[in-house]
Amino acid sequence: MRTEVAIVGAGPAGLLLSHLLGREGVDSVVVETRSREYVEARIRAGILESSTVGLLDEVGLGDRLHREGQQHRGIYLQWPGERHHLDFVELAGRSVWLYGQTELTKDLGLARDAAGQHIRYGVRDTRLHDLTTGHPYVTFTDADGGAARIDPNVVVGCDGSFGPSRAAVPDAGKQTWERTYPYAWLGILATVAPSTDELIYAWHPEGFALHSMRSASVSRLYLQVDPDTDLDEWPDERIWDALARRLGAGLEGWDLTPGPITEKSVLPMRSFVMAPMRYGRLFLAGDAAHIVPPTGAKGLNLAVADVALLAPALVALVQKNDGRLAEAYSEAALRRVWRSTHFSWWMTTMLHPNGDPFDTQLQRSQLRWVTSSRAAATGLAENYAGLPIGC
């Protein structure tokens, strides 16, 4: 197969990139190891920054989001005995939208279907070759077991942290930074109306808890747990009890309504950045180049911001043979990556007790500061609601 751009990975980054390229007349082929059903059902975060929503609107992908998503003005931050609302619209002039990654992925899939995009799901043994030459290529085994090859102008890795793209960059071609955290999140999806209008981020001596949601009848909640925790130790009743305590049931008449749990999983927490986000004719976007811990919901938004910078760079490269934006891509993308890496680390370390009494006092002090100082609250709001793309 000859094409301009080979895209490895059909998650939101890969699908959005093929959409943006397609709108400018640039042809791409997308390969994905998982099935379409798996990609569209895997549960990830659900908060879109204002710039993410702005971009989706601009490229014709915002209709269902505006119909079915929920616009949130801000979040609640709390600790035992106190709950404070931070109003991002008032503080930073921007809101966020609640819309599950599953829904965005389905919208992208339908938009690509309508454009006749070829996406190869269920492929195996994807390998990237000759990336530092003028003729890179990608080989894989297709879903029927046949050997296949793509000959593109450039390759883009949108295949996450375990995909072949990051691994194709030799150690000498990259620098990496990493931080692991001594806790994880236990996440649940429950068929019950949310007990809050906007998200609640709760610090508690037993551990952090987050009340999020997916719709008027589906709640998404998280509990800080040990990284090696066993799901068998967490029957539904224990989960709801811990959530109620940590989220402050009984505080000023507030209560948490439990309901049937339909999904339960443990999420590891890690920060990782790789630079540059390019190796010869291979460009990396999203989790293939960087991972943030979930606190603050930056992962999907960062992937969208990467692709928003990369698409015009690739259009200029393949249509006009103008490589200036492609040369600038990694440095430009990494500015936002490091901002979000810092913000996610900061939110994570402020909200998760780790057993250290000194850290506990610092956490309590920071929480009081961001909920009482307009300057501090504005800093949180600006980062959470997201900076304009390109900043």
Q: Which residues are catalytic?
A: 72, 201, 294, 298, 384
Residue (152 or 160) nearer to ligand DHB, CB: 160
Calculate ∠ Cα 4-280-152, nearest 5°: 20
First-to-last C-alpha distance (Å) of the chain: 37
- Other C-beta atoms closer than 10 Å to the C-beta of 292 total 26
**CB under 6 A: which stretch of 291-299, 300-308, 311-319, 330-338 binds ligand DHB?**
291-299
Shortest distance, CB of residue 208 to ligand DHB, whole angstroms?
10
Strand partners, 98: 47, 70
Residue (157 or 296) nearer to ligand DHB, CB: 296
Among positions 117, 212, 219, 363, the unique one binding ligand DHB when judged by CB under 6 A: 212
Residue (164 or 187) nearer to ligand DHB, CB: 187
Quick check: 154 and 3 in contact, CB under 8 A?
no
Residue 199 within binding range of ligand DHB, rule CB under 6 A: yes
Residue nearest ligand DHB by beta-carbon distance: 212
Q: Which of residues 328-357 bind ligand DHB (CB under 6 A)?
A: none
Record the tokens describing residue 364, joined without a space: 């309590």
Among positions 95, 295, 301, 348, the unique one binding ligand DHB when judged by CB under 6 A: 295
**CB under 6 A: which stretch of 135-143, 252-260, 294-302, 356-364 binds ligand DHB?**
294-302
Quick check: 21 and 169 in contact, CB under 8 A?
no
- The β-bridge relationship of strands 219-225 and 184-190 is antiparallel
Residue 54: is it exposed, middle or buried by C-beta count within 10 angstroms (0-12/13-18/19+)?
A: middle
Among positions 297, 302, 308, 314, the unique one binding ligand DHB when judged by CB under 6 A: 297
Residue (46 or 157) nearer to ligand DHB, CB: 46
Among positions 46, 152, 160, 386, the unique one binding ligand DHB when judged by CB under 6 A: 46
Residue 195 within binding range of ligand DHB, rule CB under 6 A: no
- Distance, in Å, from the CA atom of 314 to the CA atom of 125, rounded to the nearest integer, reads 26
**CB under 6 A: which stretch of 43-51, 102-110, 130-138, 233-241 binds ligand DHB?**
43-51
Residue 186 within binding range of ligand DHB, rule CB under 6 A: no
Quick check: 271 and 291 in contact, CB under 8 A?
yes
- Listing DSSP states for 269-312 in one string gives -EEEEEE-SEETTEEE-GGGTEE--STT--HHHHHHHHHHHHHH
Among positions 8, 45, 243, 305, the unique one binding ligand DHB when judged by CB under 6 A: 45
Quick check: 34 and 184 in contact, CB under 8 A?
no
Q: Which of residues 102-141 bind ligand DHB (CB under 6 A)?
A: none
- Listing DSSP states for 218-263 in one string gives -EEEEEEE-TT--GGG--HHHHHHHHHHHHTTTGGG-------EEE
Residue 317 within binding range of ligand DHB, rule CB under 6 A: no
**CB under 6 A: which stretch of 44-52, 153-161, 269-277, 334-342 binds ligand DHB?**
44-52
Residue 220 within binding range of ligand DHB, rule CB under 6 A: yes
**CB under 6 A: which stretch of 16-24, 40-48, 121-129, 155-163 binds ligand DHB?**
40-48
Shortest distance, CB of residue 297 to ligand DHB, whole angstroms?
4
Among positions 12, 258, 294, 353, the unique one binding ligand DHB when judged by CB under 6 A: 294
| Closest to 307 in 3D by CA, of 10, 93, 63, 32 | 10
Residue 380: is it exposed, middle or buried by C-beta count within 10 angstroms (0-12/13-18/19+)?
A: buried
One-letter amino acid at 226 equals: D
Binding region for ligand DHB (CB under 6 A): 45-47, 199, 212, 220, 294-297
